[in-house]
Homo-oligomer: A and B are copies of this chain.
Amino acid sequence: MPTGGGRLEPRRAEGIPADLPHFTVMRITVLAGGVGAARYLRGLKQAAPEAEITVVGNTGDDITLFGLRVCPDLDTVMYTLGGGINEDQGWGREGETHRVRAELAAYGASPDWFTLGDRDFATHILRSQLLAAGQPLSAVTEVLCRRWQPGVRLLPMSDDPVETHVTLAGPGGREIHFQEWWVRLHAATPAARISASGAERARPAPGVLAAISDADVVVFPPSNPVVSIGTILAVPGIRAAVAAKTVVGVSPIIGGAPVRGMADACLTAIGVETSAAAVAAHYGPELIDGWLVDDQDKAVTDDPALAGIAVRALPLLMRDLPATTAIARAALDLAQELG
């Protein structure tokens, strides 16, 4: 929530006459996880084709596999907006094959539970090469995006290592990498604790704080509140920068269940109910100003626990691009109303 209370005033593009209001440039900054955020961003680009969109991507899910650095959330956004995504599964490359992986398995190399396709491997090989040469992840991401032209500025939340860890429930519960819990264990083993290891020492990547401060609106797309948006907010400085802005969130929970993924397992681990209202209350009015819920959660709009948060109900399933564009537009409209 902005402390200044100023009205949302999109900047005018340089050199554009003042009497052409539709040429104003709106700055939108989105904190993004993977599939849900990527699909939402596709709608946002349609809803605000002339906006400058900056995406701050979660890197807590990043993992080193076979010595190669894999950034699932950054890549999902990059591939989706760049036209290279596997539309059916929502992650990975279209037309993918798995020959490298089969060979690694033939060598007995582990782990065998994380699927990487051949085309996808090339991204990780190049990223690892550039990282090893001393380039920070933000610079490497820029290099990769030169090919994909996602139409947004994609920034990792931090160039410093932050790793989401999950402490398994039960006596002597092991602390494992998020991906091992999510992919290998399908989040079926309850988590006692989810932590962003290294976050306290991480600095926001170059451009992240400025992109938030300069934004006309900050959007939380329907990403995982714990391991995607929560991890980004755990990087020192980001939460405060976001809290100072007009923030509109899109509920990732519809009718008491995650639209996609296993966010319920993550919410349970941090003691938050899996409901649109509970997630909004978890963020709280000091962080978010507006909250979009699905029509079936319409009752939430009058929930006294959400005082200070403007809640709007609409169809929230991103079933196709027009539906997604409508959701993105509703977030911008609500921001305009609140700004």
In whole Å, how far is A145's beta carbon from the nearest beta carbon of chain B?
10
A122 near B147 with CB under 8 A, answer no
Taking CB atoms, residues of chain B closer than 8 Å to A67 are 125, 128-129, 132-133
Tell me whether A68 is interfacial, beta carbon within 8 Å: yes
Interface positions of A from 315 to 337, Cβ below 8 Å from B = none
* Cross-interface CB contact of A121 among B97, B100, B133, B146, cutoff 8 Å: B100
A119 with B147: CB separation less than 8 A: no
On chain B, the residues within 8 Å of A126 by CB distance are 66, 104, 107, 109
A11 adjacent to chain B (CB < 8 Å): no
With both beta carbons as reference points, the residue of chain B lying nearest to A143 in the complex is identified as B107
| Number of copies of this kind of chain in the complex | 2
**Counting chain B CB atoms within 10 Å of each CB, which of A66, A101, A107 scores highest?**
A107
Contact (Cβ within 8 A) B125 A68: yes
Apart from A107-B143, A107-B144, what 13 extra A-B contacts exist at CB < 8 Å?
A67-B125, A67-B129, A67-B132, A68-B125, A99-B119, A101-B122, A102-B122, A103-B123, A107-B147, A108-B146, A108-B147, A109-B129, A121-B121
Closest 7 CB pairs of A and B: A103-B122, A67-B129, A99-B118, A100-B122, A104-B122, A103-B119, A107-B147
